[in-house]
């Protein structure tokens, strides 16, 4: 019962498939984005990767959502059950802000104009296409939601406090954000490698002999 709860609680599907992009997959995705010949698709992919927002939240962004001088993107949380408007300010790299300005003319025109005029399904398929170009195998992880989970993991492994990750992702409960503590990071792999590099206490022949006795 406890195992079933843990599986459904997040980074893996009930059948054991991974839901998140690994650090290597995330790196390959970003490289593929920079090779993308469609500037507006590139800015959408980078916004998803650098904010961890949901694809519907990204498509709701307007020119006014981008605060170039302050260094953040203001994302309106769309999954809140109350009618209260909740906006979370997510810091992003200056390179992304500059691209948004160059591609979408953030400082010009109507501030309420949306950055992307794509439907959710079209945007979802376009992002999936970039993942395919990056050589990311098909699965639950190779989706915009996988990018969101990848952002959460990247933030935790970069030393960002859990409460900040919670705020940036727009989670109502800390327990939801804490799922990112489950995935094994580079440091854990190094520790495991040292553990298995220890010589065995008994030679292989003794192990074989014990196995035969069973």
**pLDDT tens digits, 80-117:** 666 778 999 999 999 999 999 999 999 888 999 999 99
Let me know if 58 is exposed, middle or buried by CB neighbors in 10 A (0-12, 13-18, 19+).
Answer: buried
- 128 in any annotated domain: yes
Smallest CA-to-CA distance from 49 within 132, 140, 168 is with: 168
- 210 in any annotated domain: no
Q: Which alpha helices (DSSP H) does the chain contain, by range?
A: 2-8, 23-35, 39-51, 55-59, 94-104, 120-133, 144-157, 162-169, 174-177, 186-196, 204-213
**pTM for this one?**
0.85
- 157 in any annotated domain: yes
- 212 in any annotated domain: no
Angle at 60 between CA 151 and CA 103, to 5 degrees: 80
Provide the number of structural domains found in the chain: 1
What domain range is 56 assigned to? 16-196
- 209 in any annotated domain: no
Report yes or no: 123 and 44 within 8 Å, Cβ to Cβ.
Answer: yes
Q: Which residue's entry shows tokens 């399904």?
A: 121
**pLDDT tens digits, 17-55:** 999 999 999 999 999 999 999 999 999 999 999 999 999
- 152 in any annotated domain: yes
Domain harbouring 157, CATH code = 1.10.443.10
The rounded distance, in Å, linking the Cα atoms of 110 and 42 is 22
């Amino acid at each position: 019962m406890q195992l079933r709860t843990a599986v459904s609680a997040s980074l893996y599907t009930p059948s054991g498939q991974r839901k998140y992009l690994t650090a290597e997959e995330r790196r390959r995705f970003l490289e593929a984005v920079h090779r993308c010949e469609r500037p507006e698709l590139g800015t959408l992919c980078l916004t998803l990767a650098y904010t961890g927002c949901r694809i519907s939240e990204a498509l709701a962004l307007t020119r006014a959502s981008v605060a170039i001088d302050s260094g953040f993107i203001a994302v309106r949380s769309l999954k809140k059950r109350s009618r209260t408007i909740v906006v979370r300010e997510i810091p992003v790299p200056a390179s992304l802000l500059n691209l948004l300005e160059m591609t979408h003319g953030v400082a010009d025109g109507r501030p309420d104009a949306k950055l992307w005029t794509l439907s959710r399904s079209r945007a979802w398929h376009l992002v999936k296409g970039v993942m395919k170009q990056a050589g990311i195998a098909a699965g639950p992880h190779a989706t915009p939601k996988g990018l969101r989970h990848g952002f959460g993991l990247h933030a935790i492994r970069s030393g960002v406090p859990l409460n900040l990750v919670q705020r940036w992702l727009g989670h109502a409960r800390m327990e939801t954000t804490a799922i990112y503590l489950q995935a094994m990071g580079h440091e854990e792999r190094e520790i495991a490698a040292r553990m298995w590099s220890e010589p065995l206490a008994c030679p292989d022949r003794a192990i074989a002999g014990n196995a035969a006795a069973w």
